[in-house]
Structure 1
Amino acid sequence: MQEIGLGTMLLNNSIENYLLALLFLSAVYFIIRIFDKVLLGKMDLFVEKFSHSFSVLLKKIIKKRIYPLLYLLALFLAFNELKTSSQIDNFINLILMILSVIFIVLSVLDIITYSLKKYWSKKHRSEEQQKVLSITLFIIKTVVWIIAFLFILDNLNIQITGLITGLGIGGIAIAFAAQNVLTDLFNYFTIFFDKPFDIGDFIIIGDYKGTIEHIGVKTTRIRSLSGEQLIISNTDLVNSRINNYKRMRQRRINFSFGVTYDTPLEKLKKVTGIVEDIIKSIDKTEFDRAHFAEYADSSLLFQVVYYVTDSDYKLYMDIQQQINFKLKENFEELGVSFAFPTQTIHFASSELINKKSEKVVGINKEDQNNFNKDKIN
C-alpha cells in the first residue's frame, strides 16, 4: 500500500499544492474578516461624520460587492496554481469572469442609483415627478446590463458585430417610426432636469396663461384662468418662451395719475411726498420714485414706481387698492382734485365780436368793388 504524503499526486496535483491553494484561500478569508471587524468600523465612523447615506452605500458596496470580488480573485489565483484539464480551466475561468462582471456592474449601478437619488432629494421633487427617477434608473440599468452582456459575449469569442449592427438598424427603424413620441419624451426629460416650471407654477406661453397641473411624458396640462384645461405637447413648451410668474421674487409697479391744471404750485409740490409716505407706510412695499412727469392734455401728470416684495398677484392688487384709497383721502384733505379728460372753450365779449364782424364786412365790400371794376375794364 502506497504511503500518502505531501508529494502524493491526486488529479495531476500533489497534496502539497492543494494545501497551498487552501492556505492561500484561508489567508484571504482571514484578511477580509480582520478588515471587516477592525478597519471597516473605523472607516465607517469617519465617513458617517460627513454623510450617513454615503456611509451606508460604502458598507453595502464593500460587503456585498468587493468582498465577493476578492473571494473570486482568490479562487482564480488558487486554481491557476493547480494543474487541471483545459476544459475545467475554461469553465472555471468563464464562471469567474461572469461573476466578476456581475459584481462590478452591481457596484456601478449602486453608485449611479445613490447619485441620482441624492440629486432628486435636493430638488424637492413632487411624488408624481418621483416616477421619473424609476424610469431613468430603468433605462440606465438596461443600457449597463446590455453593455455587460456584450462584453461577456466578446470574451467568449462570440462575434457580436452582427448583433450590434442589427440592434443599431432596429433602433433607427424604431426611432423613425416613433419620432414625434421620442421627441416629446426627450423634451419631457429636458423639462424635468432643466426645470423651467413645476406643478403649481403660473406661466404665460404666448396667448395662453394658467397654472401647471400635470407634466406628462408627452404632454403638459395647464388650468387656464377661465377654467378650461389646456393640453400642450412638451415639444411646443420647450420651443416656446415661457413667463414663469411663480418664481418672481418681487413685482415692479409703475402707475400714473393726474391732477387738475388749477392746482396751486404749493400744493403741487406736496404731492410726491404724500405718495412716498403712503407707499412706505404699507408692508411688503419698497418705494422707488415719484415725479411730476409732464404737462398732459388734460392734467398735470405724475409717475410713481414702487416694488411689492412678493409674487402674489392678489397681494399686489390689495396693496394698489390701499394706495389708491389713501391717495384719494389725502388729496381731499389737501384740496387737490384728480383730473379727468376735459376741454375748455373761451368765448370773447359781444362788443369785440361786433367790431370784428364789421371789419370783416368792410373788407369784403372793398374786395367786391375792386372785383367789379376789374370786370368792367
Structure 2
Amino acid sequence: MLIVIIAILLWFENLGFSATTLLAGLGIGGLAIALAAQKTVENIIGAITLYVSAPVRIGSLCKFGANVGTIEEIGLRATRIRTLDRSVIYVANAKFVDMHLENISERERIAFRPNLMLSAQTKQVDLQSFINACKQLLDDHEHICADPCRVKFKGFTPWALQIDVLSYVNTTDFALYMEVIEELNMAILGLLNEHNCELAKPELAQLTS
C-alpha cells in the first residue's frame, strides 16, 4: 500500500501537481469529514450502548428528564419515544444514554401514597382512631402488600396535621391499580367522616393568618 501511495504521488508530480499540496488537502478534508461525522459516531455508539446495557427496551414505559413515554424505536441516530399525550419525541442517542432513565415498566408493584393533611383542629382521640382504622383498611385489602405498609402521624404544619401513608398495590397493571386506589380513596373518605376528621383547608389558614 505504501508503494502504491508513493507511486500515485509521483504520478501526480509528473502531471504537474504538488504532492505536498495534495497531502495537505487530503488532511484538511479528512479532518472536516471527521468533525462532521463526530455526532453521528457518538449517536451510533449511544445506540450500541442502549442495546448492550439495556436500561430500557422497545416497549418500555420510562421517565427521561421531565417527560414520560414508551420507547418505540432505538435507531442509529435517535430514539423515538411516544409520550402520554400521544406525541412523539426524538432524542439523540448520545444525549439519551446520558440521561437519568427511570424504567417504569420494570417495577414489580405500584406505590399508593395519598397526601393526607388533616385539619389542625382535629382532636387527638379522633386522629388516633382514624389512623388505626386506615391501617386496618390497608392490612385487610387483598391487593396491598404486607410490607412495607404504614400509617403514621408524621408531624405538624402551621395549618395541618400530616399523615404519612406508605403502601404498595401488588400489581403492574395500571388499570387494576386505578381501580384499587379508587376503592381505597373512597374507603378513606368514609373513615374521615366516621371518625370526625376533615381535610385541612390551607386557603382558610392563610386568610386567618
Is the pair's TM-score, using the shorter chain for normalization, greater than 0.5?
yes
CA distance 1:295–1:178, shift in 2 (3 Å): closer
More helix as a share of residues? 1
Deviation at 1:201, TM superposition (A): 0.8
Contact 1:292 1:303 in 2 (8 A): yes
Q: Could you tell me which amino acid in structure 2 is paired with residue 320 of structure 1?
A: I
The CA deviation string for residues 286-311 of structure 1, in whole angstroms up to 9 with x for no partner, is 25221112233333321111123334
Match of 2:134 in 1: 275
Q: Note if 1:231 corresponds to 2:64.
A: no
1:323 aligned to which of 184, 195, 198: 184
Confirm whether residue 242 of structure 1 aligns to residue 101 of structure 2.
yes
SS in structure 2 of the partner of residue 213 of structure 1: strand
Q: Which residue among 334, 337, 342 is the counterpart of 2:195?
A: 334
Q: TM-score, normalised by structure 1?
A: 0.42
Structure 2: gaps (5+ residues): 5-25
Q: Pick the aligned partner of 2:48 from 189, 192, 201.
A: 189
3-state SS of paired residue (1:198):
coil
Question: Of the two structures, which has the highest relative contact order with CA contacts closer than 8 Å and spacing of 6 or more?
Answer: 2
8 Å contact from structure 1 (residues 308, 316) kept in 2? yes
Counterpart residue type for residue 244 of structure 1 = N
Q: Deviations over 1:99-156 (max 9, x none)?
A: xxxxxxxxxxxxxxxxxxxxxxxxxxxxxxxxxxxxxxxxxxxxxxxxxxxxxxxxxx
Equivalent residue runs for 1:170-209 within 5 Å: 173=30, 176=34, 178-209=37-68
Task: Report the counterpart of residue 13 of structure 1 in structure 2.
Answer: none
Residue 195 to residue 161, structure 1, CA distance change in 2 (3 Å): farther
Task: Compare 289-298 and 196-205 and name the one that shifted more.
Answer: 289-298
Deviation at 1:219, TM superposition (A): 1.6
Shift of 1:162: 6.0
| TM-superposed deviation, 1:208 | 2.9
Amino acid at match of 2:142: D
Q: How far is the alpha carbon of 1:269 from its aligned partner?
A: 1.6
TM-score between both structures, scaled by the size of structure 2: 0.71
Seq. identity, %: 21
SS in 2 for 1:200: coil
Which residue type is aligned with residue 118 of structure 2?
V
Confirm or deny: 8 A CA contact 1:249 1:311 kept in the other structure: yes
- Asked if 1:297 is matched to 2:162, the reply is no
Contact 2:130–2:195 (CA under 8 A) maintained in structure 1? no
**Count of residues in correspondence between the two structures:** 180
Shift of 1:184: 1.9
CA distance in 1, matches of 2:44, 2:160: 57
2:54 & 2:40 partners in 1: Cα distance?
20
Change (3 A) 1:340 1:230: same
| Residues 248 and 311, structure 1, Cα contact 8 Å, conserved in 2 | yes
Q: Which has the larger radius of gyration?
A: 1
SS state of the match for residue 335, structure 1?
A: coil
Query: Residue 71 of structure 2 is aligned with which of 208, 212, 221?
Result: 212
Tell me if the contact between 2:130 and 2:191 (Cα under 8 Å) persists in the aligned partners: no
Q: 1:215 to 1:325 in 2, by over 3 A?
A: same
* Structure 1: gaps (5+ residues): 1-159, 164-168, 346-377
Structure 2 counterpart of 1:255, one-letter code: P
What RMSD over aligned residues (CA atoms) do the two structures have, in Å?
A: 3.1
Contact 1:282-1:319 at 8 Å conserved across structures: no
Matched to 2:196, the amino acid is G
Contact 2:138–2:149 at 8 Å: present in 1 too?
no
